[in-house]
Amino acid sequence: MDRKELAEFLRRRRELLRPADVGLVKGPRRRTQGLRREEVAQLAGMSTDYYARLEQRRAPQPSVQITTALARALRLTPDERDHLFALIGHNAPARFQHYEHVNPTLLRVLERLNADTPALVLTDMAETLAMNPIATALLGDQTRHTGLARSCFYRWFTDPAARLYFAEEDRPGHTRIQAARLRAVLTAGSDVDRAARMVAELHETSPEFVRVWELGEVARRYGESLTILHPDLGRIDMDAQFLCTQDRAQTLVVLAARPGTDSQGKLELLSVIGHQQLSP
């Protein structure tokens, strides 16, 4: 525990807060610019003496529970909270939260994208929460699935139809990507229990999964370019851009073809025809 840095950090954060920031009345005789030590202690549910000793570099290492309470009392941002945990000598908790509804900011961006720009919102478990019309025309309705099959991690190893949108030569690479991303959320995702159930189920049902899982690879994302095989328009090469929420529990994926390319022309055509079938 870095007592000197911790003491200075707590003091600075306390002095930056105002009583109104935490629902307290300032009062006519108040001399302190920020919060008093006793007020922080009250907000954190600890004794004033213990908090004072933290700022005086005399206290023993706070527990994880006390550290969490301090972060909440001082209204720390996620980055500040992680810094506090590091100063005290604890691993910071994962920032993830599991959501069933689309983040409002991501949804607003999704709704304002051009008609020829496919975009979808994914959870960190690779569950599709929302798609714009051209993304649905390009990839099919990815929001219709239920249970573990909501995750494209799971569908990749259990549903052959999940691979039809990818060129055969690209599929081995995507197989490793799916396993590596699943391993990442297994240890630090928004729903580690569900990820563990998925891993256990895939071990029982997919020998291919077992083989790539034993490679031990872990990654949030591999590359930002991909090729989609559309049933009527054929090969469409695109670059993917990612916009994540602060806790990284949801990601807006925007797919764009390079201007002037054949792939861009196909996306423009797809934005017009939508779900109409071109071939007999």
Query: Can you give the CATH number for the domain in which 64 is found?
Result: 1.10.260.40
Other CB atoms closer than 10 Å to residue 123's CB: what's the count? 22
Looking at residue 122, its pLDDT comes to: 93
- Distance between CA atoms of 197 and 203, rounded to whole angstroms? 10
Domain shared by 152 and 206, yes or no: yes
Looking at residue 152, its pLDDT comes to: 95
Terminal-to-terminal C-alpha distance of the chain:
70
Say whether pTM exceeds 0.75. no
Strand extents, DSSP E, 37-195: 119-123, 128-131
Find where tokens 């001082």 sit. 74
Its domain, for residue 80, covers 3-88
Q: What is the CATH number of the domain that holds 211?
A: 3.30.450.180
SS3 state at 253: strand
Looking at residue 154, its pLDDT comes to: 97
Looking at residue 162, its pLDDT comes to: 93
Domain shared by 216 and 116, yes or no: yes
Looking at residue 279, its pLDDT comes to: 45
How would you label 28-64 residue by residue, b for 16+ Cβ within 10 Å and e otherwise?
Answer: eeeeeebbebebbbbbbebeeeebeebbeeebeebee
Domain shared by 269 and 203, yes or no: yes
Per-residue pLDDT tens, the chain, 280 aa: give them. 778 888 888 888 888 877 777 766 666 666 667 888 888 888 888 888 888 888 888 888 888 888 888 888 888 877 788 888 888 988 877 654 455 678 888 888 888 888 889 999 999 999 999 999 899 999 989 999 989 999 999 999 999 999 999 988 889 999 999 999 999 888 878 888 899 999 999 999 999 999 999 998 888 765 578 899 998 899 999 999 998 888 788 899 999 999 999 999 999 998 887 655 444 3
Is residue 97 a part of any domain in this protein?
no
Is residue 161 a part of any domain in this protein?
yes
Is residue 58 a part of any domain in this protein?
yes
Domain shared by 140 and 261, yes or no: yes
Domain boundary among 29, 64, 88: 88
Is residue 94 a part of any domain in this protein?
no
Domain shared by 172 and 225, yes or no: yes
Domain boundary among 28, 59, 88: 88
Domain shared by 13 and 147, yes or no: no
Dihedral, CA of residue 69, residue 70, residue 75 and residue 80, to nearest 10: -120
